[in-house]
Amino acid sequence: MLSLFDAYVLRGVSSARQGEPVFESLMYFLAWEPLGLMILGTILGILVGAIPGLTGAMLIALTLPLTFSMDYRDALVLLVSMYVGSISGGLITATLLRMPGTPASMMTTLDGFPMAKKGEPGRALGLGIMASFVGGIISWVFLVLLAQPIAILSTKLGPFDMFSLVLVALVLMATVSSGSLIKGLFSGLLGMLATIPGTSPATGALRWTGGMTELNDGFELLPVLVGLFALSQVVDDILKIDQSWQPLEVSRKGIWMKLADWRAQWVNMIRSSFIGTWVGILPGVGANIGSLMAYSLAKSGSRTPEKFGEGSEEGIVASEAANNATVGGALIPLIAMGIPGSVIDAILLGALVIHGLQPGPLLFEQNPEVAYTVMMTYLGSNFVMLLFMVVAVSWIAQLIRVPRWLLIPLILVFCVVGSYALNHRMFDVWVMLGFGLLGYVLERWKIPLAPFVIGFVLTPTAEENLAAGLMTSGGSYLPLITRPVSLVFMLISLALFLWPCWQAWRNHKAAAKAE
């Protein structure tokens, strides 16, 4: 097993060979088309994030069919820049409406709206924008430094090791998802169940098709994603179509942070960015958890904790630095191991597969330009986000007034056309409708969608690696616990599952004593 130091040594030895794709990627971004796509994607992401009821996952899922005929690098530039923009755009509605445009901006509402209500909307937005930019840049540094060494280490893992690693991701995304442990596990198991119809990735045999030839390849990822994240949201918006918003008026006063502000907030920014990055690396955790952890730590270490929830500058900075840093953190396991760190990363994983790319440890060997394109897009999108939001924040805020009845028909058309365009068959449209209704029901029951999607994406990988391991071991499961790396991952999975169970038992016991 290579150490992290050895991985860096190997990277240095092969620097001449790797310099070519880096240079090629730099030259690629000098062309007008990728730069235009990056600017377009970032702006679209910001605008969608700023409209209540629309999400980055919805935007990227709807855009994915439009990338079929595009060059794979152009497609990734567009989708990754949308990812960056959508996370940042959510702070506008969080500040002006007390309504997070994205779940990642949930903690921003606690202090952004009170500050805006006191007559300082420009300052509240300015703090959030600058913190978002710093968080993005710091997480980009970790993305560049860690992605390739982790990928090199991952190539040394056997099939049982990879199965155990995927198991860690599946357990983690279920146990840390919003809501109860039971709901997270139930959602993850549903996602795993949805992968059964079709051809077994282990044996190649057909199963659970019911004689339907359309199911020979199972449920396609694209209609499932569009249904879960776009159509389910449309159904919810239709039921709230008469709801109106009364946003605060936007003033640009105070939107630029002064030198004194940087001096007061730099420790908070860096600490929150570190937290967001490392939380983002954990599969299935999400930007809202990173934001919550950074906010809580900022409050516990603040000299004025009583101001949190009343318009605290520290609270805004901590929330926005962390939630944007999770984007770069989540891209690390996606590039290095083919494991999505968030729901949007699961959609990006699907984009890689649709364009014929093999995500995972071999990506740097087979298609290194893909990894470097993602890195450069992420960096450039943060600069585009900063400039656009500072210049156009007052205009963006007007999107809050767009009525739902105008958006819903347009989104429905994209849902149907996007699903049909995949294979030119109505079956995929019906799949999209079915999973859309399922997504709406799950959200009404407060069952998180993230475990479902990540379970749906990762289960075939786990099944394929387990089958490959069993073939090499003659059908024995013992290597799962006799191989050191696999044993460590299995123990981590067990600990991650038992820890919330023990906490729930302890809380129940404490409540019983209190009675």
Which stretches within 177-282 are classed as H helix?
181-193, 221-225, 232-239, 259-281
Tell me: pLDDT of 248 over 60: no
pLDDT at 10: 45
Lowest-confidence segment of 126-135, 155-164, 426-435 by average pLDDT: 155-164
pLDDT at 515: 65
What's the mean pLDDT in 21-35? 76
Lowest-confidence segment of 16-20, 63-67, 132-136 by average pLDDT: 16-20
Q: Helix or strand or coil: residue 504?
A: helix
Residue 4 pLDDT level (bands cut at 50, 70, 90) = very low
pLDDT at 53: 59
Compute the distance between CA of residue 158 and CA of residue 25 in angstroms, rounded to an integer: 31
pLDDT at 140: 92
Residue 289 pLDDT level (bands cut at 50, 70, 90) = low
Phi first, then psi: give them for residue 435, nearest 5 degrees.
-75, -25
Tell me: pLDDT of 286 over 60: no
Tell me: pLDDT of 247 over 70: no
64 touches 347 (CB < 8 A):
yes
DSSP 189-219: HHHHHTTSSEE-TTT--EES-TT-GGGTT-S
Which is more confident, 467 or 343? 467
DSSP 8-43: HHHHHHTHHHHHHHHHHHHHHTTSHHHHHHHHHHHH
Tell me: pLDDT of 504 over 80: no
Residue 482, Cα to own-chain centre: how many angstroms? Answer: 34
Lowest-confidence segment of 32-41, 264-273, 306-315 by average pLDDT: 306-315
Which is more confident, 310 or 17? 310
Tell me: pLDDT of 1 over 50: no
pTM: 0.69
Lowest-confidence segment of 198-212, 233-247, 315-329 by average pLDDT: 233-247
Which is more confident, 96 or 348? 348
Compute the distance between CA of residue 341 and CA of residue 331 in angstroms, rounded to an integer: 7
Q: Of 461, 496, 474, 471, nearest to 154 (Cα)?
A: 461
End-to-end CA distance of the chain: 53
Tell me: pLDDT of 422 over 70: no
The pLDDT > 70 percentage for the chain reads 82
Tokens at residue 472, please?
Answer: 């090499």
What's the mean pLDDT in 402-428? 76
Tell me: pLDDT of 212 over 90: no
Domain ranges of the chain: 4-509
Compute the distance between CA of residue 91 and CA of residue 389 in angstroms, rounded to an integer: 11
Q: Of 460, 474, 476, nearest to 162 (Cα)?
A: 460
Q: Of 301, 257, 275, nearest to 120 (Cα)?
A: 257
Lowest-confidence segment of 27-41, 365-379, 397-411 by average pLDDT: 397-411
pLDDT at 114: 82
Q: Helix or strand or coil: residue 416?
A: helix
Compute the distance between CA of residue 466 and CA of residue 477 in angstroms, rounded to an integer: 9
Q: Of 272, 384, 412, nearest to 47 (Cα)?
A: 384
What's the mean pLDDT in 201-214? 78
Query: Angle, nearest 10°, between helix axes 4-13 and 15-28?
Result: 80
pLDDT at 251: 60
What CA dihedral angle connects 419, 422, 426 and 432, to 10 degrees?
A: -30
Tell me: pLDDT of 281 over 50: yes
Tell me: pLDDT of 42 over 90: yes
**Average pLDDT along the chain:** 78
pLDDT at 305: 76
38 touches 373 (CB < 8 A):
no
Lowest-confidence segment of 256-265, 430-439, 504-513 by average pLDDT: 504-513
pLDDT at 14: 46
Side-chain-facing half-sphere of 171: CA atoms under 13 Å: 19
67 touches 73 (CB < 8 A):
no
Residue 381 pLDDT level (bands cut at 50, 70, 90) = very high
pLDDT at 39: 93
Tokens at residue 301, please?
Answer: 């270490």
Compute the distance between CA of residue 367 and CA of residue 235 in angstroms, rounded to an integer: 40
Tell me: pLDDT of 138 over 80: yes
- Of 361-365, 396-400, 435-439, which has the strongest mean pLDDT? 435-439
What's the mean pLDDT in 180-189? 79
What CA dihedral angle connects 128, 131, 136 and 142, to 10 degrees?
A: -150
